[in-house]
């Protein structure tokens, strides 16, 4: 075996060893924290949540997302419409410099519609986020049982009835 072959094998081994650490949740100055999604009871729609940490001196914008688990992936926010919180698609989510932007239930989220199959608790799926400045990053979203989250009371919507069809405001 030549030196070149040994060097090649060694470098391949390094790549393999480095793979778990390079989980791909940082791109440029942007770091994605703890992406998670609610388990769904059906294959209708799901929502993903995460923190976006911008360590840079310049603001950025989240301009798109995609995932193999859903046909349509949109950036959503919640707006108050009278006494009801409704979801609305937004073109982009501003990511201020030197700050963490949190996508969380009741606020900004990534909407996954037309799921290929229900999101099962304990599972995970890839989600690619596209930033105007930093570029793309793919993260692994952990699916959690919503009942285990313990903070489902956002007032007003008794969506906990478990009818299998989450209320629109449930995200
Ligand atoms: Cu939504």
Tokens of 41: 């009871």
Give the global pTM: 0.73
* Alpha carbon of 149 to ligand 1 centroid (Å): 18
Q: Which pLDDT score is estimated for 36?
A: 97
Given a contact cutoff of 8 angstroms between Cβ atoms, the answer to whether 169 and 62 are in contact is no
* Alpha carbon of 78 to ligand 1 centroid (Å): 8
Contacts of 63 (CB under 8 A, 6+ apart): 91, 92, 130, 131, 132
* Alpha carbon of 77 to ligand 1 centroid (Å): 7
Contacts of 61 (CB under 8 A, 6+ apart): 92, 93, 94, 95, 131, 132, 133
pLDDT band at 41 (very low <50, low <70, confident <90, very high): confident
Q: Is residue 47 part of a domain?
A: yes
- The pLDDT tens digits of the residues spanning 62-109 come to 999 999 999 999 999 999 999 998 999 999 999 999 999 999 999 999
SS3 of residue 76 by DSSP:
strand
Q: Is residue 152 part of a domain?
A: no
Given a contact cutoff of 8 angstroms between Cβ atoms, the answer to whether 35 and 52 are in contact is no
Phi and psi (nearest 5°) for 75? -90, 125
Given a contact cutoff of 8 angstroms between Cβ atoms, the answer to whether 36 and 142 are in contact is yes
As for how many domains the chain has, the answer is 1
* Alpha carbon of 95 to ligand 1 centroid (Å): 19
* Alpha carbon of 29 to ligand 1 centroid (Å): 27
CA separation for the pair 167, 67 (Å, rounded): 23
- The pLDDT tens digits of the residues spanning 8-40 come to 555 555 444 444 443 449 999 999 999 999 999
CATH of the domain at 53: 2.60.40.1890
pLDDT band at 169 (very low <50, low <70, confident <90, very high): very low
Looking at residue 158, the DSSP 8-state letter turns out to be: -
Q: Is residue 12 part of a domain?
A: no
Question: Alpha helix (H) ranges present in 71-166?
Answer: none
Phi and psi (nearest 5°) for 148? -80, -10
Q: Is residue 64 part of a domain?
A: yes
Domain that holds residue 29: 24-146
* Alpha carbon of 159 to ligand 1 centroid (Å): 15
- The pLDDT tens digits of the residues spanning 104-116 come to 999 999 999 999 9
Q: Is residue 118 part of a domain?
A: yes
């Amino acid at each position: 075996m030549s030196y070149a072959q040994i060097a090649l094998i060694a470098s391949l081994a390094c790549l393999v060893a480095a793979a778990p650490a390079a989980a791909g949740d940082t791109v440029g100055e942007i770091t994605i924290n703890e992406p998670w999604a609610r388990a769904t009871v059906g294959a209708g729609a799901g929502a993903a949540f995460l923190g976006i940490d911008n360590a840079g001196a310049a603001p950025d914008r989240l301009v798109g997302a995609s995932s193999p688990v859903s046909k349509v992936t949109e950036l959503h926010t919640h707006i108050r419409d009278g006494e009801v919180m409704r979801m609305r698609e937004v073109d982009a989510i501003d990511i201020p410099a030197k700050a963490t932007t949190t996508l969380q239930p009741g606020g900004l989220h990534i909407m996954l519609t037309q799921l290929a199959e229900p999101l099962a608790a304990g599972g995970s799926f890839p989600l690619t986020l596209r930033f105007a400045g930093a570029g793309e990053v793919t993260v692994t979203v952990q699916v959690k049982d919503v009942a285990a989250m313990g903070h489902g009371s956002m007032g007003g919507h008794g969506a906990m009835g478990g009818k299998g069809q989450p209320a629109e405001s449930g995200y």
